[in-house]
């Protein structure tokens, strides 16, 4: 097993000793230590091993559980969250879902502002955790109706509210260094390439900082959709959620990224559907983009290379958007 339950001594029992029970105090105790799965049947490249880091094993279903809890922990340490406070955050869905779960556990009110391209499943999940979800139009960042600006306005207008702001908060990347340490341990230090989507940049930059501290020769490949500007392309609309922007957020340090792969929506979604049918991995569109990029990286890699692709979330969040209709 890749998870080790801890003993819960927080309760007393008449018929059994509390320290006989293996349990976590709450679901946040199950975050992290996600598994690597071999991709040998999907990415076939002689003498190159490819693996996926399956982050949907986190409790709310994505890598963002790691970030959400770290953001709340940091705010609590700094005295920015009073009991029963309101947490307001802009999110394309996964950070919002993770914060909604964590806020439910810690008894905070949660308000998530999300763009209208966010899948219906993500919106429904956030609401199921008790969050208030505000859907903002897909407009330019300069527009006051943009979801990041709406969230900032709501945070300023709400007494006692706190906005963690994953797009500028350094805790975002710091929390993801643990992923790099897990990959280093799981590959016994043999990892040569990591492929990760670039959204806020926290995941890729955190992984890069941890792994390059172990071996500066490790190549970190960022993945963005066509229409994102990180690699110097022209901005245009794209359907993949969670990665890509028409601006560079403060949380993205491009100096830690060795190269950027651009993946179009149709390539990513085709791979996403293929992986579900051929490997039983039900992943989201950004994960599909990471696998498309990983196949390219594997073709270029030297024999003996070990490529790890970040698979940030579950396809359950995109059933109506990516998987509706007959298989392509």
Catalytically annotated residue among 64, 122, 212, 321: 64
Q: State yes or no: is 122 an active-site residue.
A: no
Q: Are 52 and 36 in contact (CB under 8 A)?
A: yes
- Tell me which residues are annotated as active site: 64
């Amino acid at each position: 097993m890749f998870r080790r339950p801890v003993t819960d001594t927080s309760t007393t029992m008449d018929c059994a000793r509390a320290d006989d029970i293996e349990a976590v105090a709450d679901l946040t105790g199950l975050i992290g230590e996600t598994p690597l799965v071999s991709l040998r049947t999907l990415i076939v490249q002689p003498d190159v091993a490819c693996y996926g880091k399956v982050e949907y094993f986190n409790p709310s279903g994505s890598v963002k559980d790691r970030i959400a809890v770290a953001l709340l922990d940091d705010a609590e340490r700094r005295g920015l969250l009073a009991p029963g406070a309101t947490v307001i955050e802009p999110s394309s869905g996964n950070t919002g879902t993770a914060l909604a779960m964590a806020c439910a556990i810690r008894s905070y009110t949660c308000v998530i502002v999300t763009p209208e391209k966010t899948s219906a499943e993500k919106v429904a999940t956030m609401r199921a955790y008790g969050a208030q979800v505000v859907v903002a139009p897909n407009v330019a960042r300069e527009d006051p109706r943009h979801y990041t600006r709406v969230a900032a306005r709501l945070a300023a207008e709400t007494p006692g509210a706190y906005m963690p702001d994953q797009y500028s908060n350094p805790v975002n990347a710091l929390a993801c260094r643990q992923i790099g340490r897990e990959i280093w341990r799981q590959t016994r230090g043999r990892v040569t390439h990591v492929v990760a989507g670039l959204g806020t940049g926290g995941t890729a930059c955190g992984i890069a900082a941890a792994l390059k501290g172990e071996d500066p020769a490790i190549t970190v490949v960022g993945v963005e959709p066509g229409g994102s500007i990180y690699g110097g392309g022209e901005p245009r609309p794209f359907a993949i959620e969670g990665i890509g922007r028409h601006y560079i957020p403060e949380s993205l340090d491009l100096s830690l990224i060795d190269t950027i792969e651009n993946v179009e929506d149709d390539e990513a979604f085709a791979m996403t559907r293929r992986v579900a049918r051929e490997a039983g991995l039900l992943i989201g569109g950004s994960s599909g983009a990471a696998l498309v990029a990983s196949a390219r990286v594997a073709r270029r890699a030297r024999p003996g290379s070990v490529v790890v692709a970040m698979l940030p979330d579950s396809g359950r969040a995109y059933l109506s958007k990516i998987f509706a209709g007959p298989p392509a």
